[in-house]
Amino acid sequence: MDALAALALQLEWGADEALADTPVVRFAAEAPPASLPAPASRPVPVPAPAPVSRIAPPVVSRAEQAAAAADSLAALRAALEGFEGCTLRDTATNLVFQDGNPDAGLMIVGEGPGAEEDRAGLPFVGPSGRLLDRMLGSIGLDRTRCVITNVIFWRPPGNRTPTDTEVLTCLPFLLRHVSLVRPQRIVLLGAMATKAITGNTDGIRKLRGRWLELPVP
The residues facing 27 across adjacent strands are 39
Report whether 81 contacts 154 (CB < 8 A).
no
| First-last CA distance in the chain | 40
Report whether 147 contacts 99 (CB < 8 A).
yes
Q: Residue 214: which of 37, 45, 36 has the closest Cα?
A: 45
Global pTM reads 0.75
Q: Specify the DSSP class assigned to residue 67.
A: H
Q: What is the pLDDT along the chain (217 residues), one digit of tens a residue?
A: 567 777 777 666 656 566 566 666 655 544 445 555 555 555 655 555 554 444 557 899 999 999 999 999 999 999 999 999 999 999 999 999 999 999 999 999 999 999 999 999 999 998 989 999 999 999 999 999 999 999 999 999 999 999 999 999 999 999 999 999 999 999 999 889 988 888 877 777 777 778 888 887 7
Report whether 191 contacts 14 (CB < 8 A).
yes
Residue 179 backbone zone (phi > 0: left; psi -120 to 50: alpha; other: beta): alpha
List Cβ neighbours of 56 (8 Å cut-off, separation of 6 or more): 165, 168, 169
Q: What three-state secondary structure class fits 148?
A: strand
CA–CA separation, 185 vs 199, rounded Å?
A: 17
CA–CA separation, 114 vs 100, rounded Å?
A: 18
